[in-house]
């Protein structure tokens, strides 16, 4: 299995997990929604800065450099 296949599989599993979590929370409103952990995490300025840096790194490596992930 190539590195590209592992990466795409990982993103696919992440997408399935997020969709599954969304479906569960839609059916059971007492469950923890996707927004609740994000709201709690982003109360800290350091965590918000870390999120921005990670987002910039991912954007640079996947889109700006043209690493071949989406080719």
Structure confidence at residue 65 (pLDDT): 60
Q: Print the SS3 string covering 8-65.
A: HHHHHHHHHHHHHHHHHHHHCCCCCCCHHHHHHHCCCHHHHHHHHHHHHHHHHHHHHC
Full-model pTM: 0.52
Low-confidence ranges of the chain (pLDDT < 50): none
**Largest pairwise CA distance in the chain:** 43
Structure confidence at residue 50 (pLDDT): 93
Measure the CA angle with vertex 54, ends 36 and 62; round to 5°. 115
Q: Where along the chain do its domains lie?
A: 1-31, 34-71
Helix or strand holding residue 6 (H, E): helix 3-27
């Amino acid at each position: 299995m190539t590195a590209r296949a592992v990466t795409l599989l990982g993103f696919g599993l992440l997408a399935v997990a997020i969709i599954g979590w969304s479906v569960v929370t839609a059916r059971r409103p007492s469950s923890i929604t996707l927004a609740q952990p994000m709201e709690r995490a982003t109360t800290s300025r350091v965590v918000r800065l870390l999120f921005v840096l990670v987002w910039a790194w991912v954007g640079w490596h996947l889109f700006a450099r043209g690493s071949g992930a989406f080719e």
